[in-house]
Amino acid sequence: MNHEEISALIARIEEQERRLVLPHFDNDDAWQLGTTLVQLARERSAPVTIDVRRGSQQLFHYALPGTSADNDAWILRKVRTVDRYAHASYLVGLRCAAKGTTFEESSRLDPDMYAAHGGAFPITVAGTGVVGTVAVSGLPQGDDHDLVVAALEHYISTLPHRDS
């Protein structure tokens, strides 16, 4: 990926983070978002593990056929990255690449604990900020990221809209 492609992808993910904000987030929201992800993954025959958290509490977890415990480990590493930086794990990694370095080199964090690869996205509540994460593992990083975004977009589209 060249510098222009990286810059365009960074801008796209920053826009997604600004746009994909929930009015609230509780255990029922986690269930609905998680089951939305399961449905999308099944429709795409995507062998992924899915994880939804509020803070450090895991509220939803599901592993589709074709996944393994390695996917759970990837999710934990990507979630820690979102928790630390309050941005999508893919965005964190791309920002390093845009500077001509890697996340591992620039962050100096233990790569067994953190991964700036696509697939974990912050759950942001309007007026509150980041309250959790939604993550998948099992596909190439761009596809993991896109699956999470598609699920958030679909879930948000099902929420009742209030007129301002």
**Does the predicted TM-score (pTM) go above 0.85?**
yes
* Run of H or E including 121: strand 120-125
pLDDT digits (tens, 9 = 90+) for 106-132: 999 999 999 999 999 999 999 999 999
d(CA 101, CA 80): 20
**Smallest Cα–Cα separation from 49: which of 75, 29, 28?**
75
Burial class (CB in 10 A: 0-12, 13-18, 19+), 149: buried
pLDDT, residue 164, reads 45
- pLDDT tens per residue, the chain (164 residues)? 899 999 999 999 999 999 999 999 999 999 999 999 999 999 999 999 999 999 999 999 999 999 999 999 999 999 999 999 999 999 999 999 999 999 999 999 999 999 999 999 999 999 999 999 999 999 999 999 999 999 999 999 999 875 54
**Smallest Cα–Cα separation from 37: which of 139, 135, 130, 160?**
135
CATH number of 3-157: 3.30.450.150
pLDDT, residue 161, reads 72
